[in-house]
């Protein structure tokens, strides 16, 4: 059963809805509360300032009336005394203006403005309209909000001046910001507590459902021993009781078939052959582990799949024809590089009445048998072919000699020479076969000794250089210092003889053979390169197989058996090395092989 994701669980949905409802309620209350609180704070601020301004206006009215001339210095002094204690705290600036917009008084911090004219629109509007004017602005110097108020000074309903006041209303907004922070913090705490309570509340509802889900999963796996805990006798409790009764009945039904299933499972598990069972429609209902491994499939994915589709027999058979099949069917799953062959035997399951219930298929892996048989047939064919060619040639020449050619002084020596050459070729073939047979033997042992490979390689090259018949130059890229390896000198000679002989056979006139030795960390790399016709890319991996020739006509003409590189490969492997080839058609071939080197032993010999 698919596991329920955390974002799809009813537990999370219940808690989420619960928290969202609380959040919405808190937000509605918060918006209303904050808006009303802000309104009240502003009104209180405005009221407190306006009361002080009204008192100041009343005092200024009396002082202005006492002094006859408004330009009299006595008026300015009186106004100055009234404003001395008025500013401060929330009020940052106060100015008194006459009805001609001339400043006749200011707070102690702005005495330099006295006798100047006011240009503020609020002052003009309050004097003209005879009503207080106010606005909230941003202080250009400090960047905080200020409240600007212009209140007219009246005498007998005549405006005789105005009070211009600047108050710091930013404190009100700061208080609102602090209140908002407190509200947000309180909301977060309330939501956290709500979430915890929601989880606890949701668990009381979802716990029985989760128990039943776990029980259902356990039942799907064959475990009927668990029981769902009953937390109450409401609707969910009744569902849990019903679920437990269902579990009990299923357990009883399971017990009736468990014994037979165990017997069948035991038989199938201990079988080494693959077994597949189908229903009467040919759909797979059972497959044991060996069969799944042979077919490289999962037991769970092939159930209910057609046997014809599983064995890849849809083009050759129908299910009805497969029911009638009495002979073994060979299933060839071989690839280009890997052989894989199975043999399938079919047996019909049917009742006494003849009604077909299904089909049993038994699979046997016969890859190794087929591979051995194929190699045996190929080996016999190759040996027969290699022997038949020289034997046919010898029989032809011997028949000619028997019919009187031995009397011909010119032809007889030639015929005898050919017969001798073909005899030597068969002897070489037999010797190579015996050598390969010895290398294949598990009891075969090398006679290893420490040799200076560089000096040894020079001797081999010198021998070939002295005996070669074609015009081919030798190029040596060998280290100057000795390199000691532990090897069988005779077998190492045979490895190099086979590789160099091949290089000479396929080297053109005027060509060059390069001999190279490279020192590596724990081995030496030997390479022998020619400038011959090269080997096609698709054949490069096959040149170390027995009896394989790239140019069969030329190889036989030169007396090759097709076993030289196969022998070299076995001998290199016996020394613990590897051998491989690279080639470019028309440019030549390079044979590489490695030999292990023990540096500690080499230092002692040095």
Report domain 449-605's class.
alpha beta
**Alpha-carbon gap, residue 1 to 528, rounded angstroms:** 64
For residue range 125-139, what is the model confidence (pLDDT) as tens digits? 888 888 888 888 888
**Quick one: DSSP state of residue 408?**
-
CATH code for the domain defined by 370-440: 1.10.287.130
pLDDT confidence of residue 342: 87
**Where is average pLDDT lowest: 40-44, 417-421, 523-527?**
417-421
Q: What pLDDT sits at residue 123?
A: 83
What does CATH list as the number for 271-365?
A: 3.30.450.20
Q: Which residue has the higher pLDDT, 230 or 474?
A: 474
Percent of the chain exceeding pLDDT 90 equals 5
More confident residue, 410 or 91: 91
**Mean local confidence (pLDDT), 43-51:** 81
Per-residue pLDDT tens for 158-207? 888 888 888 888 777 888 888 888 888 888 888 888 888 877 777 777 77
CATH for 12-175 is 3.30.450.20
Give the pTM. Answer: 0.40
Residue 141 contacts residue 23 (beta carbons within 8 Å): no
Rounded to an integer, what distance in angstroms lies between the CA atom of residue 383 and that of residue 371? 18
* Strands (DSSP E) found in 279-354: 284-287, 329-332, 341-350
Confidence check: pLDDT of 590 > 50: yes
- Say if residue 34's pLDDT is above 90: no
3-state class (DSSP) for residue 555: helix
Q: Quick one: average pLDDT of 207-216?
A: 76
Q: Are 35 and 196 in contact (CB under 8 A)?
A: no
| CA distance linking residue 418 with residue 424, whole number of Å | 10
Range with the poorest average pLDDT among 193-202, 261-270, 431-440 = 431-440
**Matching CATH topology for 12-175 and 271-365?**
yes
Tokens of 323: 């029911």
pLDDT, the chain, mean: 78
Mean pLDDT lowest among 238-247, 288-297, 467-476, 574-583: 238-247
- Domain ranges in the chain are 12-175, 232-267, 271-365, 370-440, 449-605
Mean pLDDT of 587-600: 84
């Amino acid at each position: 059963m698919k596991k329920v994701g955390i974002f799809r669980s009813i537990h999370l949905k219940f808690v989420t809805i619960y928290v969202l409802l609380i959040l919405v309620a808190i937000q509605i209350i918060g918006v209303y509360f904050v808006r009303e609180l802000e309104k009240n704070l502003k009104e209180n601020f405005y009221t407190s300032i306006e009361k002080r301004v009204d008192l100041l206006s009343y005092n200024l009215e009396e002082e202005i009336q006492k002094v006859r001339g408004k330009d009299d210095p006595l008026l300015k002094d009186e106004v100055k005394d009234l404003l001395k204690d008025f500013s401060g705290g929330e009020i940052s600036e106060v100015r008194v203006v006459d009805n001609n917009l001339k400043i006749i008084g200011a707070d102690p911090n702005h005495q330099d403005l006295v006798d100047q004219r006011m240009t503020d629109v609020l002052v003009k509007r309050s004097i003209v309209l005879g009503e207080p004017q106010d606005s909230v602005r941003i202080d250009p110097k400090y960047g905080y909000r200020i409240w600007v108020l212009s209140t007219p000074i009246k005498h007998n309903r005549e405006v005789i001046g105005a009070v211009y006041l600047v108050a710091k209303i930013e404190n009100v907004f700061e208080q609102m910001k602090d209140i908002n922070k407190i509200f947000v913090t309180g909301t977060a705490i309330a939501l956290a507590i709500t979430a915890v309570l929601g989880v606890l509340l949701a668990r009381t509802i979802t716990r029985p459902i989760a128990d039943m889900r776990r029980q259902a999963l356990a039942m799907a796996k064959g475990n009927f021993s668990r029981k769902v805990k009953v937390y109450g006798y409401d609707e969910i409790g009744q569902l849990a009781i019903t679920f437990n009764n269902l579990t009990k009945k299923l357990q009883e039904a399971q017990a009736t078939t468990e014994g037979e299933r165990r017997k069948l499972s035991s038989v199938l598990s201990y079988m080494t052959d693959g077994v597949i069972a189908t229903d009467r429609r040919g759909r797979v209902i059972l497959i044991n582990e060996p069969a799944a491994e042979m077919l490289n499939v999962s037991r769970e994915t092939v159930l209910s799949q057609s046997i014809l589709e599983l064995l890849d027999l849809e083009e050759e058979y129908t299910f009805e024809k497969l029911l009638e099949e009495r002979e073994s069917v060979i299933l060839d799953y071989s690839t280009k590089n890997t052989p894989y062959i199975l043999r399938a035997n079919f047996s019909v399951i049917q009742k006494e009445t003849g009604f077909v219930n299904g089909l049993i298929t038994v699979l046997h892996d016969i890859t190794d048998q087929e591979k051995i048989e194929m190699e045996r047939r190929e080996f016999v064919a190759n040996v027969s072919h290699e022997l038949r060619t020289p034997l046919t040639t010898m029989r032809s020449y011997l028949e000619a000699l028997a019919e009187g050619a031995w009397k011909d002084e010119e032809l007889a020596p030639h015929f005898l020479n050919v017969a001798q050459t073909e005899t030597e070729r068969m002897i070489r073939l037999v010797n190579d076969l015996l050598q390969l047979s010895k290398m294949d033997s598990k009891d075969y042992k090398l006679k290893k000794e420490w040799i200076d490979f560089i000096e040894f390689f020079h001797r081999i090259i010198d021998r070939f250089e002295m005996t070669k018949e074609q015009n081919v130059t030798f190029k040596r890229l060998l280290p100057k210092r000795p390199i000691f390896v532990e090897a069988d000198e005779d077998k190492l000679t045979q490895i190099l003889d086979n590789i160099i002989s091949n290089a000479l056979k396929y080297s053109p006139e005027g060509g060059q053979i390069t001999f190279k030795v490279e020192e590596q960390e724990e081995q030496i790399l030997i390479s022998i390169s020619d400038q011959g016709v090269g080997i096609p890319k698709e054949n490069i991996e096959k040149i170390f197989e027995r009896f394989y020739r790239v140019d069969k006509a030329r190889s036989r003409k030169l007396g090759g058996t097709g076993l030289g590189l196969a022998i070299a490969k076995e001998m290199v492997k016996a020394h613990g090395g590897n051998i491989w080839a690279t080639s470019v058609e028309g440019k030549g071939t390079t044979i590489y092989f490695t030999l292990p080197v023990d540096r500690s032993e080499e230092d002692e010999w040095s």
